[in-house]
């Protein structure tokens, strides 16, 4: 069964059509008709009670809630609170800026940050985008592509421009400025996620000492006279007490 948040995301993917969402729940996820309707109603009620409090927005393209570490892509001015799926910051693995289908961030922020390519800081990559753009006078499409660690919804697209637009126009410059701001915010989010991942690895990858190996080393020190028999016995007891298992008696 899907969580309330996953159902809300499915609701958004179905253009907020209750009928289509219920159909998807039945067809793809094995809900019966009543279960699907109840699940959608429960998710909508949960969304109404769990209001999204925006702490930062970039135009009407995207809103961030730093307190709950979530963001949403609003579908209309009056629908940003209750009927839009929330996405967690820690779901974000990469963000790319595409102009007419070509990446302007050389494979995405996640790859650059993970590879330690931002020696000049985030601004070095963001600011360098201007110099790497193809020298065309018009842009047909400008898109922010967000990659998530989600099987059900692996990518999100923010369409900044969808029509042929002159690069010298105010519309293009405004959209490109918004793109740079969005990239800057997500670069901070991704860096935080990567640091959290490293910290988790440092905890889980800490080697577990083998008490028998440690005792063997102590015995060698005893044999060559570095430690006394009393010191060896004391340390051996400490190791066996610390690592005591049912098989160690």
The per-residue pLDDT for 118 is: 44
In this prediction, residues 182-205 reach a mean pLDDT of: 74
pLDDT tens-digit profile of 214-243?
788 888 777 877 778 888 888 888 877 766
Lowest mean pLDDT among 86-90, 116-120, 149-153, 191-195: 116-120
Q: Measured between alpha carbons, how far is 136 from 100 in angstroms, rounded to an integer?
A: 11
Same domain, 194 and 227: no
Averaged pLDDT for residues 111-131: 50
| Confidence class for position 147, pLDDT limits 50, 70, 90 | very high
Query: Could you tell me if residue 23 is inside a domain?
Result: no
**In-domain check, residue 16:** no
**In a shared domain, residues 227 and 198:** no
Work out how many domains the chain is built from and give that number: 2
Q: Where does 133-242 have alpha helices with state H? A: 170-204, 211-223, 229-242
Residues sharing a CB contact under 8 Å with residue 83, sequence separation 6 or more, in sequence order: 8, 11, 12, 16, 44, 47, 75
User: What is the pLDDT at residue 198?
Assistant: 60
108 with 141, same domain: the answer is yes
Domain range for 219 = 211-242
Residue 5 lies in a domain: no
Whether 195 and 223 share a structural domain: no
Domain shared by 147 and 174, yes or no: yes
* Model pLDDT for residues 36-59, shown as the tens digit of each residue: 998 888 887 776 656 677 899 998
**Residue 119 confidence (pLDDT):** 39
The larger pLDDT score, comparing residue 128 to residue 53, is at: 53
Residues 175 and 235 in one domain: no
- Whether residue 168 lies inside any domain: the answer is yes
Token pair of 75 as six digits: 């579908």
The Cα 66–Cα 71 span in angstroms is 8
Is residue 178 scored above 90 in pLDDT? yes
Average pLDDT over residues 195-210: 57
Structure token pair of residue 84: 């839009």
35 domain-assigned: no
176 and 109 both lie in a single domain: yes
pLDDT given at position 127: 52
**pLDDT at position 133:** 55
- Report pLDDT for 80: 42
Is 88 a domain residue? no
Strand partners, 62: 58
- pLDDT value of position 120: 44
Q: Is residue 85 left, alpha or beta, with left meaning phi > 0 and alpha meaning psi from -120 to 50? A: beta
pLDDT at 249 over 50: no
- pLDDT, residue 2, reads 86
Q: Compute the mean pLDDT over every residue in the chain, rounded to the nearest whole number.
A: 78
Report pLDDT for 142. 95
């Amino acid at each position: 069964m899907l969580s309330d948040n996953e159902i809300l995301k499915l609701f958004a993917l179905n253009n907020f059509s209750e009928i289509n969402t219920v159909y998807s729940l039945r067809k793809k996820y094995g809900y019966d008709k009543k279960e699907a309707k109840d699940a959608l109603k429960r998710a909508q009620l949960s969304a109404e009670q769990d209001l999204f409090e925006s702490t930062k927005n970039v135009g009407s393209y995207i809103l961030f809630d730093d307190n709950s570490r979530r963001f949403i892509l609003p579908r209309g001015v009056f629908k940003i609170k209750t009927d839009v799926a929330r996405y967690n910051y820690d779901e974000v693995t990469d963000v790319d800026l595409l102009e007419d289908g070509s990446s302007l961030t050389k494979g995405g922020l996640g790859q650059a940050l993970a590879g330690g390519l931002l020696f000049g800081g985030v601004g070095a990559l963001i600011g360098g985008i201007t110099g790497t753009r193809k020298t065309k006078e018009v842009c047909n499409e400008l898109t922010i592509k967000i990659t998530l660690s989600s099987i059900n919804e692996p990518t999100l697209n923010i369409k900044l421009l969808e029509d042929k637009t002159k690069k010298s126009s105010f519309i293009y410059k405004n959209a490109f400025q918004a793109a740079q701001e969005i990239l800057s915010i997500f670069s901070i989010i991704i860096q935080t996620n990567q640091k959290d991942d490293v910290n988790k690895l440092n905890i889980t990858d800490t080697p577990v000492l083998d008490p028998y190996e440690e005792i063997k080393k102590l015995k060698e020190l005893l044999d060559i006279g570095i430690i006394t028999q009393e010191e060896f016995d004391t340390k051996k007891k400490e190791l066996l007490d610390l690592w005591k298992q049912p098989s160690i008696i």
